[in-house]
């Protein structure tokens, strides 16, 4: 699958929403773990809130 610009949730690391969905499917629901797995939020940190929202939307309560 090709990633479009819209799929990227963390621009510093190029982490895509699709990648985060994969991790959620593996039972990883918290920003800490997501960050460790992907590097997301390890740059400017401005994606933090967006990733949290995405997690809240896509995980059923963790």
From the list 20-28, 38-46, 52-60, the region that binds ligand FES by CB under 6 A is: 38-46
Q: Nearest approach, Cβ of 53 to ligand FES (angstroms)?
A: 13
Q: For residue 1, what is the DSSP state?
A: -
From the list 20-28, 43-51, 54-62, the region that binds ligand FES by CB under 6 A is: 43-51
Contact 18, 58 (CB under 8 A): no
* Residue count (the chain): 62
Tokens 């933090």 map to which residue? 48
Considering only 46, 53, 58, 62, the residue that binds ligand FES (CB under 6 A) is 46
| Cα distance between residue 41 and residue 27, in whole Å | 19
Give yes or no for residue 34 binding ligand FES (CB under 6 A): no
């Amino acid at each position: 699958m090709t990633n479009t610009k819209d799929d990227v949730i963390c621009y510093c690391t190029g982490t895509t929403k699709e990648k985060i969905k994969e991790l959620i499917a593996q039972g990883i629901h918290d920003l800490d773990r997501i960050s460790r797995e992907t590097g997301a939020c390890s740059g400017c940190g401005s994606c933090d809130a967006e990733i949290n929202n995405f997690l809240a939307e896509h995980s059923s309560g963790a």
